[in-house]
Amino acid sequence: MRAIETCGLAKTVGIDRELFTGLSLTVTPGELVAITGESGVGKSTLLNMLAGLDDADAGEIRIEGVALGPLNDETRTKLRRERIGFVFQAFHILPYLTLEQNVALPLALISPDSAAAKAQAGVVLAEVGLGDRGRDYARDLSGGELQRVAIARALVHRPAVILADEPTGNLDPETAGRVLDLLARAVKSRGAAAVIVTHSAATAAVADRVLMLTARGLTPIDG
Amino acid sequence: MAEAGLLRSRLALAWLVAGEWRWHPGRFAATAVAIAVGVALGFAVHLVNGSALASFEQAVTGVNGAADLQVRARSPLGFDERLYPRVATAPGVADASPVVRLSAKAGRARFELLGLDVIRAAAVTPSLVGARSSGPDTGSDDVFAGDALFLSRTALAATGARVGERLRVLANRRAVSLLVAGTLPGVPDGQAIGAMDIAGAQWSFGKLGRLDRLDLKLDDRTAADTALVRLLGAEAVVATGETEARQGDALSRAYRVNLDMLALVALLTGGFLVFSAQSLSVTRRLRAFALVRTLGLPKRGIIAAVALEGAIIGVVGAAIGLAVGYTMAVAALRLFGGDLGGGYFAGGTARVVFQPLAAGAFFALGLAAALLGSILPARAAARAAPAAALKNAGDVLDPRAPVPWRPALLLLLGGGVAALLPAINGLPVFGFTAMALLLAGGVVGVPWLVRRLLSPWQDRDLGTAPRLLALRHVHGAPGQAAIALCGIVASTALMIAMATMVTSFRGAVDSWLGQVLSADLYMRADGGDLDPAAQQRIAATPGIARAAFSRQLPLTIVPDRPPVILIARPVSSNAGDPSLVLLDKAPVPARTTPVWVSEPAAWLYGWSPGSDVALPIGGSRRFRVAGIWRDYARQQGAIVIRDLDYARLTGDKLRDEAAITVAPGFQTDVVRRSLMARLPPGVAVTEPATLRRFALRLFDRSFAITYVLEAVAILVGLAGVAATMSAQTIARSKEFGMLRHLGLTRRQITEMLATEGALLGLIGAVAGVALGALLGQVLIHVINPQSFNWTMATRWPFGTMVGVTAALVGAATMTAMLAGRRATASDAVAAVREDW
Amino acid sequence: MRAVLAAVAVAGIAAAPPYPVVRPGIRLSFPVDHGAHPAFRTEWWYVTGWLKGADGRDVGFQVTFFRVNPHAGANNPSRFAPHQVIFAHAALSDPALGRILHAERAARTGFGLAGAATGTAAVGLNGWTFRRLSDGRFASRVSGREFSLDLRFRPTQPPLAQGENGYSRKGPKPEQASYYYSVPHLSVAGTVARAGKAERMTGEAWLDREWSSDYLAPDASGWDWTGLNLDDGGALMAFRIRRKGGGVLWAGGSYRRPDGQVIRLAPGDVTFTPKATWRSARTGALYPVAQMLSVRLPGGVRRFPLQPMFSDQEVDARAAGQPVYWEGAVRTITGRGYLELTGYAADLKL
């Protein structure tokens, strides 16, 4: 089954600014797709549409075969909670929760079992190399470390789809490389489908496919 | 499924709430305290009022001996005793106990002396039957003896008499030696009551042929009610213990409701404070909420989280409030007495009675205020699109966004309409609704007011960059200003409203006293103590040009309203008298007897000039209302009848007050002393200045508690402004960091913040004072007439208005500057880089 | 003799001189002496009797009006001045119930609410009445919470003057006496209502009339009294006054034979011997409810065993501030009547 499948997507913002039409994208489990494009072309909008946070004007999005279009907000929220992981450019680690809690947050949204959530968070934190920092707070960490926490949070509930919006935008190139490696390895090892919106060549380097977003849709770069 | 989702997310919700709590414990505590103060004030005031009323009712039951029903005289002149057999044999009446009621003195002790038929009383009101002491010295008394007196424990202690001794008892101007034959063990402590044989009481104290009361035992209430209506003439009415309690209740109810309302204002201000704090906290956490929304928390999850915080604040605050309120009630009863200085429940000591129902109500109100203050901002936050909120670096202002004005206008209009509606059951329910609506409208209208006030300054050259920035910020984010100001606008408005009302009231009373107290000396004796001989003696005192004697009698018009005061006095012409301040008058045709009714009486009984009223004086007769006079002294209403008419109708020649004009060439003080020498002790002679001082002192005492409540409301409001503004300022540290990068000095940023603070304070004060002036008009023209039945002209408390404005501007400026210093103290570069 | 009552309020009145003294040598005259004698301190109209309803079951009843002159407020012009006070008791003894139903009232005279007329019997108290009708019958109407009586009494025999033509001694001193006559064998008809159900009843009753100023000797503790309507048309009244601390202070009575001849009984002619006692759980008082009455008649001593209709015929009027006594329907072999036992709960004051 395809993890992500879109067909004939179109989006217009404002009164008549058409972002793109006829956009189709298919991502299979274990595949990491990078999307690049000029500023304002609608990369983030596309990502939000994939997450059910924004609606398409035309076309269809299926996550694991489920069409998002007919779903109401409640059901989309549930789908997002259980099947999608997010990584942001700004790390969005809640300052008043411990790192362990931050990572466990998606699990805490699904089940009230605190011990299981924290145990799982510990495992994933160890996986991103922060196994001993679970009780720390965000202010104790560097940017790279924060983004690794964010990746851990995106992985902790074993989502089928991982969406990342400029995950290395706030990091220096060296750190960015390490974070990307980590993300790519995690996606592969879990068999998740990942879509990363990025400007950086480094990101493109770890991707299975690199697509360029233009008003006419997605076109492959290099192959 | 959706519910299950929210329930399954409860761990995440708990983390969010607990995290916020750990991060900002002070904020949580402060909002809880705001709720606690409101609940405490409301509960304390309610408890004190309730306790006072309970002790009053207990006193009433004691004197009445718990009869099923009473037939009571409409005035102290009593009713014809021949009514007794007719009532006693009426259908439904099982037994009737006739009572003569006298207010008696023995030495300095006062007690209520009841003349009873011991056999009837034993069947109807056994608690009023005396127990004879069975000591060896008191062997051969007779319960039928005309001079045997039985005293309650309190009366016994007050008179210092002992069983077996004789006691000189003074009542109805007669002194009689009575033998203290025993006690009244059935009368509760605290009540000074004496009982003697009814025949002896009638004969010894000049009440032959008259009764004051019939206590009834019924076997069929319905039959009795029907029969009694037909039997009773003009002189008597049917009453129960309830009706007497209702009388006490009716007199003080408006005052108590007003106090309750003031206390609720404190709670309302607390609610606004929760709103401010939670709005801020929600705004600050907008991105956190967006994140958890993105991670899969439904919209209602956000509301649930914030509501949960509100609930915790509410529960903690309300619980503390109840405890503090109870303690305050105990203290207040000790300090001020049961009426909180209102003068409604004289005598009698009140004990605080815990009222579980009221406690529950105030707890619920506190919780509701906290919940509402939390849910409103949470709903706004939940509506924000999570993706946009995550992306944006903060809440993005759009200075061009129009500020809605319709909701405010609608609320204000609604308030205006409510103010025009009449009272319900003697309570200004719609008046208070109007105040609430106007208040809400005023607060909701603050953003619009901010825009309106600042727009003209937008294009002016303001000299410095900081000032320009300040103006633009306040103008661009009027919503933030409103959030900071809502509490203080509300409390300022209410304080100004109360101040306007009290100032107007005090001024009206003061000038009214000046008009009414036109004689040189005033004399007051106990009920009916000045017989014609004493009156002649007074009038013949050298130096007295004129002595106008008057008689005051309570007169029951409707059983469950307190009796109006009938004043028999000289009235110089049918068009009135200089010392009767007439508000309205009507001609008096020949062959009609004129009366002049006070403004409260006219309101209470719907009397208008020129109409005819039936009054139970000298049989039932009709009188023409010749005018309505201003009176701030007798809330229960008063009726003036010309003394000649009164004497002709009742034959009562006794008087108890005199207004004395001193002849030219005599010194008032000298006349006063020679007058005192001619009078028995116990008669007070005072000069108008003393009376006026006394009246105003009473007035101030009864409003003292309202000042305290207002001050608390203002303090809570100011605390709210300080907390909100400092939080808002600290939230803008990134903006300050950027400004520092641009080259603004710390000083300039402080100046900017000071300007903003001053602007906000000024706007808050303008809004509060304007709203207060409006609310004051509702108090003066709607709530006062509806609850106290008198009107007055507005007098503005300019001093208070200026003072409040200055205090507010000062406090807001200081708070903004202090908060700004903290916000700019941190490293500007770090501030810009900061993620959150 | 009876009386019980009025101890109430009158309790402590010292024997003040202003009351007329009861002396021998009067002539009773009717109907005037059926009416009140207000100058005397105490007076009563006292009816006791047996009734039978349609079902043939017997019940006993008592209707009593007392008049007391407390000698207070004599000069007081108030309409409430307590010149006379009227008390009344009514009781119904039903063996099916096993206890007595009773009601009592009291009032000072005046306002037409309470009074005792002179000239003929007409006593009223808040709706309760005892009066003599123009045809010579007596009528009484009383009602309480639990029962009401509306009865007519037709005399079948002339009044029986007790003592010396109505002068009846109660103690060793001549002034310790009362004026006293009885009307035995009154034929009764009327209505008895209980629990809202009225029942026609007929039977036979005994009227006692007595007025005095100084009734009891100071060392008297109470008395036993009985009035019996005998089946042969005869009537027997006997009493004894007990001394405080034991013994009999005075006794007396009279026996009217069916032929109308009256035999006066002197203190030595009357003996009461307790045969069975009953203790009240309410008051703790121990009453000799069954007695052997022995009367010495010219033909020798005659014994009348007195058996109560049932034991608990105690009247506990303490709630109304009045005394406790036993007033019960009794049977003897040859007749029926009432037995009154006073001063067993506490010494009686009158």
Residue C347 within any structural domain of the chain:
no
pLDDT, mean of residues C136-155: 93
Tell me which chain A residues have a C-beta less than 8 angstroms from the C-beta of B299: 73, 77
pLDDT, mean of residues B469-473: 76
Nearest alpha-carbon partner for A93 in A45, A158, A154, A179: A154
Tokens for B515? Answer: 């008009």
Give B259's pLDDT tier (boundaries 50, 70, 90).
low
Q: Do chains C and A touch (3 or more CB pairs under 8 A)?
A: no
Q: Which of A102-111, A161-170, B136-145, C297-306 has the highest mean pLDDT?
A: C297-306
Tell me which chain B residues have a C-beta less than 8 angstroms from the C-beta of C113: 85, 88-89
Name the residue with higher pLDDT: B518 or B777.
B777
pLDDT of residue B398: 58
Tell me which chain A residues have a C-beta less than 8 angstroms from the C-beta of B5: 74, 77-78
For the ranges B132-146, B371-385, B788-802, C106-120, which has the lowest average pLDDT?
A: B132-146
Task: Assess C16–B contact: CB distance below 8 Å, yes or no.
Answer: no
Residue C5 within any structural domain of the chain:
no
Min CA distance, A114 vs chain B (Å)? 7
Which residue reads 């200089």 in tokens? Answer: B578
Mean pLDDT of chain B: 79
Give C147's pLDDT tier (boundaries 50, 70, 90).
very high
Residue C9 within any structural domain of the chain:
no
% chain B with pLDDT above 70: 83
Q: What is the pLDDT of residues B290-333, one digit of tens each?
A: 888 888 788 888 888 888 888 988 999 999 989 988 888 888 77
Report strand pairing: A58-63 vs A4-13: antiparallel
**pLDDT reading at B67 higher than 80:** no
**pLDDT reading at B354 higher than 80:** no
% chain C with pLDDT above 70: 92
pLDDT of residue A217: 79
Burial B318-347 (b: 16+ CB within 10 A, else e): bbbbbebbbebbbebbeebbbbbbbebbee
Residue B605: CA count within 13 A, CB half-sphere:
29
Which residue reads 């007749």 in tokens? Answer: C335
**pLDDT reading at B430 higher than 60:** yes
Tell me which chain C residues have a C-beta less than 8 angstroms from the C-beta of B123: 320
- Report CB contact under 8 Å: B15, A54: no
Secondary structure, 3-state, A184-196: HHHHHHHCCEEEE
Task: Assess C13–B contact: CB distance below 8 Å, yes or no.
Answer: yes
Give A222's pLDDT tier (boundaries 50, 70, 90).
low
% chain B with pLDDT above 90: 5
For the ranges B457-466, B682-691, C302-311, which has the lowest average pLDDT?
A: B457-466
Mean pLDDT of chain C: 88
Tokens for B86? Answer: 């007719």
Q: Do chains B and C touch (3 or more CB pairs under 8 A)?
A: yes
pLDDT, mean of residues C10-39: 76
Task: Assess A92–B contact: CB distance below 8 Å, yes or no.
Answer: yes
Stretch 189-228 of chain C: residues touching chain B, C-beta under 8 Å: none
**pLDDT reading at B411 higher than 80:** yes
pLDDT of residue B462: 61
A154 to chain B: closest CA residue:
B295
pLDDT of residue C238: 95
Tell me which chain A residues have a C-beta less than 8 angstroms from the C-beta of B835: 90-93, 138, 146
**pLDDT reading at B492 higher than 70:** yes
**pLDDT reading at B56 higher than 90:** no
Report the alpha-carbon distance of residue C19 to residue B153 in Å, rounded: 37
**pLDDT reading at B702 higher than 70:** no
Q: Which of B41-55, B63-77, B788-802, C28-42 has the highest mean pLDDT?
A: C28-42
**pLDDT reading at B172 higher than 70:** yes
Residue C258 within any structural domain of the chain:
yes
Domain boundaries, chain B: 1-67+244-396, 69-239, 432-515+693-836, 521-686
pLDDT, mean of residues C271-294: 92
Looking at residue B620, what DSSP letter applies?
S
Q: Report the residue from C70, C106, C111 with minimal CB separation from B85.
A: C111
- Report CB contact under 8 Å: C111, B140: no
- Report CB contact under 8 Å: C70, B144: yes
Name the residue with higher pLDDT: C239 or B456.
C239
For the ranges A28-32, B248-252, B572-576, C99-103, which has the lowest average pLDDT?
A: B248-252
Report the alpha-carbon distance of residue C220 to residue C347 in Å, rounded: 8
Domain boundaries, chain A: 4-221
Q: What is the pLDDT of residues C228-260, one digit of tens each?
A: 999 999 999 999 999 988 889 999 999 999 999
Report the alpha-carbon distance of residue B756 to residue B750 in Å, rounded: 10
Q: Report the residue from B298, B387, B835 with minimal CB separation from A77.
A: B298
A80 to chain B: closest CA residue:
B296
pLDDT of residue B140: 38
> Which sign, positive or negative, has the C-alpha torsion C172, C177, C183, C188?
negative
pTM: 0.62
Longest dimension (CA), chain C: 59
pLDDT, mean of residues A189-218: 84
Residue type (1 letter), B437? L
> Which sign, positive or negative, has the C-alpha torsion B715, B721, B723, B726?
negative
Give C16's pLDDT tier (boundaries 50, 70, 90).
very low
pLDDT of residue C224: 93
pLDDT of residue B248: 58
Report the alpha-carbon distance of residue C184 to residue C204 in Å, rounded: 9
Question: In terms of DSSP H, where are the helices of B610-687?
Answer: 643-650, 668-678
- Report CB contact under 8 Å: B82, C111: yes
Min CA distance, B236 vs chain C (Å)? 19
- Report CB contact under 8 Å: B122, C320: yes
Report the alpha-carbon distance of residue C46 to residue C338 in Å, rounded: 11
Min CA distance, B531 vs chain C (Å)? 23
How far is CA A138 from each of CA A76, A146, A157, C101, rounded to the nearest angstrom? 29, 7, 21, 91
C145 to chain B: closest CA residue:
B219
Q: Mutate which of B15, B303, B392 to disrupt the A interface (most A C-beta within 10 Å)? A: B15
Give B66's pLDDT tier (boundaries 50, 70, 90).
low
Q: Do chains B and A touch (3 or more CB pairs under 8 A)?
A: yes
Q: What is the pLDDT of residues A17-69, one digit of tens each?
A: 788 888 888 899 988 898 888 877 888 888 888 888 888 888 888 888 888 88
Strand partners, B170: B105, B175
Cis-peptide, bond into residue C31, ω within 30° of zero = yes
- Report CB contact under 8 Å: B202, C126: no
Cβ-Cβ contacts under 8 Å between A and B: the total is 93
pLDDT of residue C350: 45
Give C9's pLDDT tier (boundaries 50, 70, 90).
very low
pLDDT of residue B483: 76
List the CATH number of the domain containing C154.
2.40.370.10
- Report CB contact under 8 Å: A77, B292: no
For the ranges A119-123, B717-721, C178-182, which has the lowest average pLDDT?
A: B717-721
Q: Report the residue from B119, B146, B208 with minimal CB separation from C72.
A: B146
- Report CB contact under 8 Å: C82, B141: no
Burial A93-108 (b: 16+ CB within 10 A, else e): bbebbbbbbbbbbbbb
Number of helical H runs and strand E runs in chain B: 28, 22
What range does the domain containing C247 cover? 29-341
Tokens for B784? Answer: 């006062």
Nearest alpha-carbon partner for B276 in B177, B372, B341, B373: B373
Count of domains forming chain C:
1
Name the residue with higher pLDDT: B462 or B588.
B588
Report the alpha-carbon distance of residue C256 to residue C160 in Å, rounded: 8
Q: Report the residue from A77, A95, A110 with minimal CB separation from B8.
A: A110
- Report CB contact under 8 Å: A74, B5: yes
CA C125 to chain centre: 18
pLDDT of residue B337: 60
Give yes or no for a contact between A133 and A165, defined as CB atoms under 8 angstroms apart: no
Cβ-Cβ contacts under 8 Å between B and C: the total is 78
Residue A76: CA count within 13 A, CB half-sphere:
20
Tokens for B35? Answer: 């709720």
Q: What is the pLDDT of residues B432-441, one digit of tens each?
A: 888 888 888 8
Pick the CATH number of A4-221 from 3.40.50.300, 3.90.1150.10, 3.40.50.720, 3.40.640.10: 3.40.50.300
pLDDT of residue C252: 93
Q: Is the ipTM of this complex over 0.85?
A: no
Residue type (1 letter), A107? L
Q: Report the residue from A81, A96, A111 with minimal CB separation from B296.
A: A81
Task: Assess A161–B contact: CB distance below 8 Å, yes or no.
Answer: no
Report the alpha-carbon distance of residue B19 to residue B294 in Å, rounded: 19
Residue C23 within any structural domain of the chain:
no
Q: Which of B286-290, B487-491, B534-538 has the highest mean pLDDT?
A: B534-538
Task: Assess B215–C contact: CB distance below 8 Å, yes or no.
Answer: no
pLDDT of residue A43: 84
Q: What is the pLDDT of residues A95-148, one digit of tens each?
A: 777 888 888 888 887 887 888 888 888 988 888 888 888 888 887 888 788 888
Q: Counting beta carbons within 10 angstroms of the beta carbon of residue B124, is it exposed (0 to 12), middle (13 to 18) or buried (19 or more)? A: buried
pLDDT, mean of residues C74-92: 88
Report the alpha-carbon distance of residue C90 to residue C61 in Å, rounded: 7
